[in-house]
Amino acid sequence: MYKLKSLVLEDDFKLIGIHTSLEAYKLAYLINKHFSISFERATYDLDMTYKDSFAHFPLFNYYDQNWDCDMYLIANKFSDDVPNLKSSGSLFDEAQTETQTFYLFSSMKHIDYFIKVEDELDIFDSQHILKTINSIGRIKKAYLINNKSIKNPEYLIFK
């Protein structure tokens, strides 16, 4: 008999939700500039399969040697043009596409990006970080997210 086991992540990380219309690379640049850190584009994206489509969520990472913590910036939304397979009956129709949006966490569609801070020593000053992120002009809002509200925590494992 098989038993279904759930994955339990330890609460040694902090998760920040960010609302902004910026592209991922622009957000990474602004965060780097305001915090004097160096988020870099990972060599891979977080790839997910949705029915007949694939979504590629951009991932940026940074390791702070002074604080011994890993930080990740991940997009929650991915939009792609997919072919619309409805035929009008004509032999020479142009291929029609429609834009579909996919979410890493569909229960949090209102969030555009996440910053995950792996903080085993619990030295992350969340209030200072949030205050600085919220002061960046193109960011509408940033706040801490309760780790227990995440339905698929395995999506946040990047190593």
Structural domain 13-43+54-81+99-149, CATH architecture: 2-Layer Sandwich (3.30)
Question: What pTM does this model have?
Answer: 0.82
State what percent of residues in the chain have pLDDT above 90: 45
| Confidence (pLDDT) at 94 | 65
**Mean pLDDT of the 4-10 span:** 49
* Distance (Å, whole) CA 112 – CA 148: 19
Q: Is 29 exposed, middle or buried (CB count within 10 Å of its CB: 0-12, 13-18, 19+)?
A: middle
Domains in the chain: boundaries: 13-43+54-81+99-149
pLDDT computed for residue 6 by the predictor: 47
User: Quick one: which H or E segment has residue 55?
Assistant: strand 53-57
- AA identity, residue 12: D
pLDDT (tens digit per residue) in 32-71: 999 999 999 999 888 888 787 888 999 999 998 887 889 9
Q: What is the overall mean pLDDT for the chain?
A: 85
Task: Give the pLDDT score at 5.
Answer: 46
Residue 92 has pLDDT above 80, yes or no: no
Strand partners of residue 81: 99
CA 64 to CA 70: how far, in whole Å? 6
H helices of 17-141, in order, are: 24-35, 126-135
Q: CB within 8 A of 90, min separation 6: which ones? A: none
